[in-house]
Chain A
């Protein structure tokens, strides 16, 4: 059975990730989130963003440990930076990877999304205009 690690930040990122759970049925799914979502079994990730370098290192190290611990076959992330790190580390470990840029990014690909471009096997946006501009795949959106 395919083991999927689904990782994101809290709030809207997390809600979008959960909404896509149905598409992962038939797989063993491990969730990770950079915010306390009050659900048991969700692995914690430290929150970080690309503008605070020190936290960024903490996030990268946590991502490394998580990928080593969970040993996923595939990683899915809806952003932001913590999920991007998990995706990049997973790619370096030979996993298949999916980036779904948050639907919040209606005009341009997020910074985290641009970072994952070379590491995501399936690199997606939820807006046709962003797809045209960046070459990211548009197949639909959660809203």
Chain B
């Protein structure tokens, strides 16, 4: 099964339409979280999902296809699932700005993650196996958490 998720804030018909087409071409089960009230006939689709439902679909999927949202990247990593990102583009009215292009570029070399810069790259990426993301402890997280912890427990003076 492929789980497609676009976040809760904005619809992303370019991705949804393509993945409906993929499902019809390949016969593979595709579950859609659309962020959209539109009814996608015959598709297993949800406007939004509760946290447990979302987690269940993430866990069940062989691969997740998503906009380049941080929520999706965190969810795929914590469930050790391969992830394909399609960044939203401002010029197509898909977001207020192009920060998703920057996010995708910044994460494109991470294990378990691929970027489709255009929708027509998706089928090829879906046809090839993608390794699982690494699950080892992340030193970057430890650094950030330590800095925050030091500040919170520190004296009540300004620490620039």
- Residues on A lying within 8 angstroms of B by beta carbon are 2, 4, 10-13, 15-16, 19-20, 22-24, 26-27, 35, 37-38, 49, 51, 73-74, 76, 96, 98, 100, 102-108, 110, 121-122, 124, 126-127, 137, 139-143
A137 to B102, CA, bound (A): 20
- Given A11-B8, A96-B156, do A140 and B144 touch, yes or no (CB 8 Å)? yes
Instruction: Report chain A residues within 8 Å CB of B156.
Output: 73, 96
Nearest chain B residue, comparing its CB with the CB of A126 = B144
Interface extent on B, as a size class? 35 or more
Are B74 and A143 interface neighbours, CB within 8 A? yes
Within 8 A of A (CB), among B73-89: 73-75, 77
Are B51 and A141 interface neighbours, CB within 8 A? no
Q: Please classify the interface of chain B as helix (H, G, I), strand (E, B), loop, or mixed, using the class held by over half of its residues.
A: helix
Name B70's contact: one of A15, A49, A122 (CB within 8 Å).
A15
With an 8 A cutoff between CB atoms, is B135 at the interface? Answer: no
With an 8 A cutoff between CB atoms, is B91 at the interface? Answer: no
With an 8 A cutoff between CB atoms, is B41 at the interface? Answer: no
Shortest beta-carbon distance from B33 to chain A in Å: 12
Instruction: Report chain A residues within 8 Å CB of B138.
Output: 143
Instruction: Report chain A residues within 8 Å CB of B9.
Output: 10-11
Name A140's contact: one of B7, B71, B142 (CB within 8 Å).
B142
A11 to B33, CA, bound (A): 14
With an 8 A cutoff between CB atoms, is B158 at the interface? Answer: yes
A16 to B103, CA, bound (A): 15
Shortest beta-carbon distance from B89 to chain A in Å: 15
- Given A51-B96, A105-B99, A105-B102, do A12 and B144 touch, yes or no (CB 8 Å)? no
With an 8 A cutoff between CB atoms, is B105 at the interface? Answer: yes
Instruction: Report chain A residues within 8 Å CB of B8.
Output: 10-11, 35
Are B145 and A106 interface neighbours, CB within 8 A? no
